Structure 1
Amino acid sequence: MCVPVALTPPIKPMLAEARRDLPPEGALPGGLAFEPKPDGFRAIVFARPGLVMVQSRRGADLTASFPDIAEAAAAVAAEDLVLDGELVVPHEGRLDFIELQHRARRRGRKAIQAASEKPAHLIVFDVLQIAGAELLELPYSRRRGHLEDLFARHTLKAPFTLCPATTDRRQAQDWLDPSWGTVGIEGVVVKGQSQPVLLDQRAWVKVRSRTTAEAIIASVTGPVDNPTTLLLGRYDTDGRLRLVARTTPLPTAMRRDLAQRLVLGGPEHPWTGRRFSAGWGTQTELHHQPVRPELVAEFLADTAVDAGRFRHPVVFQRVRDDLVPDDIPLMDR
């Protein structure tokens, strides 16, 4: 039943738990629904008389940075809606996370200019309120029906986009193909057909697309004789060794094996004195020990790659003894 109580910002959205594989049938209540996961920012959009707001997942007000989305929300404010979705910026045939980050930092005239040059879209996957009545207790299938109706009646139109959804497991498996990563689809979100909205709970499932790749082991965190993580690099067309990925913490057996093979780099190492951040989007400095860039690592990664660098930590698989650094493709400048 719809409750005649309006939602007020900020709200903490329902979240997804990361898994390696799609869950089996029956894992979530009411059967499984699958949606592609676009590479963007989670956003809650309030479109009601007297309140137009674009809220980030953590509650920040992004309205000033996305005047194009705010304008579209104002145009449907009479419907008194709260929409849940993913902010994205399409650019050169893919969803561009870096351009999205640039837009999120702009305000005022710069934000208006950016909205004209690199317009954003909201890929909507849920509706939390209609006509001032919150829908949190309704099952996913009924909320999805309301959302599809808003698009069918053209109440919602560009820059709002309806997120695809299916109950076909084969389609979900196709969305997990790494080739979708080239256009900005990170994986799949799995939802229960009869699930209500559980604010601030990880009750959905998220499965990322993964692919294997190779890079040069160029530095480590922790001591060289007991490395904690690896920093991986590739040379660019100017001959510079560029950081492309950092691994997750290494299992004990892998640490022991690598300790026998890694050699501390000398002052001539291109990363001697180089500073790297401890994580994407953070300013914390990462303490690392350069090693001779002689070994090639094979790793497992998701498809979120920005300017040649993997955004999330990758999983080290093995040393590729059949490859040397010259075998690794060069990065573009």
Structure 2
Amino acid sequence: MQVVRRSSKPVKDVARYMQPMRPLRVPKLPTDNSKWLYEPKLDGYRAIALKNAGRPTLYSMDGQVYDRKFPEVFDALSKIICKDFVLDGELVALEPNGRPNFNELQNHQHTSLPIFFIAFDILHFKKRDLLDEPLEGRKKRLAEIAEQFVAPIQPILVFPDEVEVDTTIEVVKQTRVEGLVAKRKGSTYLPGKEVDFWQKHRFNQEDKFFIGGYITGPLGIGELLIGEFRADDKFYFIKRLIAGLNKFNRRELYDSIQDLKTNNCPFVNLPEKASEHQHAVTSEVMAECLWTKPEQPCEVEFIERTPRRKLRHAEFRRLLPRSGEK
């Protein structure tokens, strides 16, 4: 797989891959729309799209070349007339109602949904870096080049200043977009950094859990058994997880945890009693389980925690790097 070559020597004013700046995840967004602008938080793959001296390249967030992986986007990138620019944005699979579908994006080679690149920032334009320009200036440059966009490349929707933040939140919730990003007006761009002048908030909660075992099924994984470490440093069972597993990620999950298999159950609070809840991990269920050392983290989305710290309407999102991995 082709990956961008990173130089230790700083390069300026050349259209090139830049590691995206990351928003800080917050429990509540700022509400002063005189100081912040608001965009929908898209559920996709962060990407960098650029042209250098007329040559287009599409990069993943970590610098992998995506030209062949998303050929329709690459073709549209090639048709942009401007010869030198760097766009920051998100690759998404869009449903007919405009809602991104992350599972379909994972299945991008077979999905019937169109894959779009939604541009929300521009980092370089016409042989000049824009990193030190205020956000509003970069947005003007983005609007300028967006006149050359053809599908499936388009600019992101920015909610107008006159729309109250509470109204914006309601609109986003009704369309079932996963959240909002607030960006402070006047802010610059710091490649590769997580910054508090971009803030993201998901209306569903998400958190990191660890895989402690699984029940076999299609492509090796039928159900994941996830848990968390608590203040006493013990590992507690949280959920039997099925939602979010599909034929595209089950094999990846299975392969990722085979080196962690163990004969010992890692959860301190198993078995459960059948009377506790409908999907209790009883002694009988435990006999079907294969255990793993709790070292492989994953991201899980859920509505809320129950009083007993279980998850309501939980869904597997993605694997996360293990400790020490990048």
Partner of 1:269: 285
Pairwise CA distance, 1:44: 0.6
Query: What's the CA shift for 1:265?
Result: 4.2
After superposition, where does 1:57-68 map in structure 2 within 5 Å?
A: 57-68=61-72
- 1:4·1:132 contact (CA, 8 Å) conserved in 2? no
Is the aligned partner of 1:150 residue 2:145?
yes
Match of 1:210 in 2: 204
Cα distance in 1, alignment partners of residues 228 and 102 from structure 2: 31
Matched, 1:95 2:85: no
Q: Is the 8 A contact 1:12 1:57 kept in 2?
A: yes
CA–CA distance in 2 between the matches of 1:201 and 1:49?
27
Partner of 1:159: 152
- Tell me how far 1:4 sits from its aligned partner: 7.6
2:130 is aligned with 1:135: yes
Matched, 1:12 2:6: no
Q: What residue is the counterpart of 1:312 in the other structure?
A: 301
3-state DSSP of counterpart to 1:156: coil
How many Å apart are 1:102 and its aligned residue? 2.1
**Any conservation in 2 of the 1:63–1:70 contact (CA below 8 Å)?**
yes
Q: Name the count of aligned residue pairs.
A: 249
Asked if the contact 1:276–1:285 (Cα under 8 Å) also holds between the matched residues in 2, the reply is no
Summarize deviations over 1:156-177 as a string: whole Å, max 9, x none.
2321222111364855434444
Secondary structure, counterpart of 2:72 in structure 1: helix
Cα shift at 1:22: 0.8
CA contact (8 A) 2:54 2:83 kept: no
Contact 2:270 2:282 in 1 (8 A): no
User: What's the offset of the Cα at 1:91?
Assistant: 3.2
Partner Cα separation in structure 2 for residue 220 and residue 126 of structure 1:
37
Distance across 2 between alignment mates of 1:4 and 1:268: 63
Q: Is the 8 A contact 2:55 2:83 kept in 1?
A: no
1:48 and 1:76 in contact (8 A); partners too: no
Aligned to 1:73: 77
Q: Which runs of 5+ in 2 are unaligned?
A: 1-10, 207-223, 244-267, 274-279, 316-326
1:47 aligned onto 2:51: yes
Is 1:21 the counterpart of 2:10? The answer is no
- Work out the CA distance in 2 between the residues paired with 1:277 and 1:171: 48
Residues 64-118 of structure 1: CA deviation (Å, up to 9, x unaligned): 1011111111111534221111111113543221121122xx5xxxxxxx58x44
SS of equivalent to 1:132: coil
How far apart, CA to CA, are the structure 2 residues paired with 1:139 and 1:220?
43
- Larger % of helix: which? 1
Root-mean-square deviation (CA, aligned residues, Å) is 4.2
Moved more, 76-85 or 54-63: 76-85
Distance in structure 2 (CA, Å) of the matches to 1:285 and 1:6: 37
Query: What is the TM-score when the length of structure 1 is the normalising length?
Result: 0.61
Alpha-carbon separation, structure 2, partners of 1:92 and 1:197 = 33
Residues 118 and 49 of structure 1, relative CA distance in 2, 3 Å threshold? farther
Distance 2:163 2:82 in 1: 39
- 2:301 alignment partner, SS class: coil
Q: Take 1:164 and 1:97, find their aligned partners in 2: how far apart are those partners?
A: 19
Output the TM-score relative to the length of structure 2: 0.62
Distance in structure 1 (CA, Å) of the matches to 2:204 and 2:281: 31
Determine the C-alpha separation between the residues in 2 that align with 1:136 and 1:234.
43
1:95 alignment partner AA: P
Q: How big is the shift at 1:230?
A: 0.4
CA contact (8 A) 2:271 2:283 kept: no
Q: 1:34·1:190 contact (CA, 8 Å) conserved in 2?
A: yes
1:189 maps onto 2:181 in alignment:
yes
Which residue pairs with 1:305 in the alignment?
Answer: none
Unaligned ranges ≥5, structure 1? 107-113, 213-217, 236-257, 287-309, 321-327
Change in CA separation of 1:31 and 1:58 when aligned onto 2, cut-off 3 Å: same
Shift of residue 180, structure 1, vs aligned partner? 4.0
Structure 1: which amino acid aligns with 2:30? P
Return closer, same or farther for 1:175/1:230 CA change in 2, 3 Å cut-off.
farther
Is 1:35 the counterpart of 2:42? The answer is no
**Structure 2 letter corresponding to 1:34:** Y
Pairwise mapping of residues 156-305 of structure 1 onto structure 2 (< 5 A)? Answer: 156-166=149-159, 168=161, 171-177=164-170, 180=172, 183=175, 185-203=177-195, 204-210=198-204, 221=227, 228-232=236-240, 262-263=272-273, 265-269=281-285, 272-273=288-289, 284=296
Residues 1:63 and 1:172: Cα distance change in structure 2 (over 3 Å): farther
